[in-house]
Structure 1
Amino acid sequence: MARPDDPDDDAALRWDDVDDASYDLGPAPGGEAEAAPAESGEATASAGGAAGKRGRSALLAATSVFGGIYLMYAVGWIIGVAQLPLSGTDLLQEVTYQFAEFLAIIAAPMWFVASVVLSRGRGAVHRLGWLALGTLVLVPWPFLLGVVR
């Protein structure tokens, strides 16, 4: 049984053991990642690298915004098709109608995934163009028309 004043009792609750080998702070500021370039060509390359990082961050942010929009579209399709009455007189018509509803619900997430995967090696304009086109094509009309009424 451990004593209450034992210093090792709270060792699991502290994160200040910097001597631990698994404790990694990453590269030090001004260390290897920001080494001074020897030539002027390297200086422009590092400046271009910083601009590239900002561009990738902006692309990631824009892609995330579109991902949120597509997620809201999927929820809109779920709500919209739940409001529609089933239209079918026999079993085959009901099954195909429900399958079409399922395809409408997953169309927005699938468009997002396909746009991101298929535009991986291309420019940001290409990816954002396809994502913007999807926001126009995949609007959840049953939800929007149900809200307008």
Structure 2
Amino acid sequence: MTNGRDDDALSWDGDDDPTLDVGTSADPDDTPPDPADADVDAAAGAELPDGFTAVGKGSETVGAAAAPDMARADRGPMGNGELIGVGVLGGVYALFAIGWIIGGLRLQDWRPFLVSDAMYQGSLWLAVLAPVLWFATVFLLTRASRAWVRFAWLAAGVVLLVPWPFVLIGAVGQ
């Protein structure tokens, strides 16, 4: 009777890879080494990132990682709450851009009384692009900042970039 991996229910191409046999032995009396008896010096070269603390046996020999250089000051990946919040605010900014298009086009009838045609078209498209540019600028410039800084600037943009023509006149017009 064999004790190898050929007795498995399924066998796949590459199952004979020696790295897959970690911890198995042909001798049933051979016991695996106790992890508590591991050499403490192996942890001496380990480094932990900022914010992490080593605990347990040999934790005093674990050092902290070196501070990242300022050229690569990106923070870690966004958490679930931050990702959802940025997505919701991104949707608000997309709706603001649509609101500026609809409200600005509704004002075309009043345009001759306000400004010339070239000035109106330029300001209309700047107003449409303003929410998109604000969101992209805040998102890119606050990559290394804390989450509350990013949300403070995004909230300020929500207050400042309200599509007033759409709010006051609406899509139908009064």
Calculate the TM-score normalised by the size of structure 1.
0.60
Question: Contact 1:70/1:109 (CA < 8 Å) preserved in 2?
Answer: yes
Q: Alpha carbons of 1:99 and 1:19: their partners in 2 closer, same or farther (altered >3 Å)?
A: farther
Equivalences for residues 79-90 of structure 1 within 5 A: 79-84=102-107, 85=109, 87-88=111-112
Other-structure match for 1:42: 54
Other-structure match for 2:139: 116
Question: Contact 1:115/1:131 (CA < 8 Å) preserved in 2?
Answer: yes
Other-structure match for 2:82: 59
Deviation of the 1:96 alpha carbon: 1.3
Larger Rg: 2
Other-structure match for 1:127: 150
Aligned-CA RMSD value: 3.0
Other-structure match for 2:116: 93
Q: Which runs of 4+ in 1 moved over 4 A?
A: 52-55
Other-structure match for 1:70: 93
Question: Contact 1:86/1:94 (CA < 8 Å) preserved in 2?
Answer: no
Equivalences for residues 28-39 of structure 1 within 5 A: none
- For residues 1-27 of structure 1, the C-alpha deviation after alignment (integer angstroms, 9 at most, x for no partner) is xxxxxxxxxxxxxxxxx759xxxxxxx
Measured in 2, the distance between the counterparts of 1:117 and 1:53 equals 14
Other-structure match for 1:145: 168
- For residues 102-135 of structure 1, the C-alpha deviation after alignment (integer angstroms, 9 at most, x for no partner) is 0000100110000100111100010000000000
> What amino acid maps onto 2:152 in structure 1?
G
Question: Contact 1:108/1:134 (CA < 8 Å) preserved in 2?
Answer: yes
Higher helix proportion (structure 1 or 2) = 1
Measured in 2, the distance between the counterparts of 1:120 and 1:53 equals 9
Identity of counterpart residues, as a percentage? Answer: 34
- For residues 15-52 of structure 1, the C-alpha deviation after alignment (integer angstroms, 9 at most, x for no partner) is xxx759xxxxxxxxxxxxxxxxx999335xxxxxxxx9
Other-structure match for 1:28: none
> Which segment is superposed worse, 52-61 or 139-148?
52-61
Measured in 2, the distance between the counterparts of 1:146 and 1:86 equals 12
Alignment: residue pair count: 105
Other-structure match for 1:23: none
Deviation of the 1:54 alpha carbon: 9.6
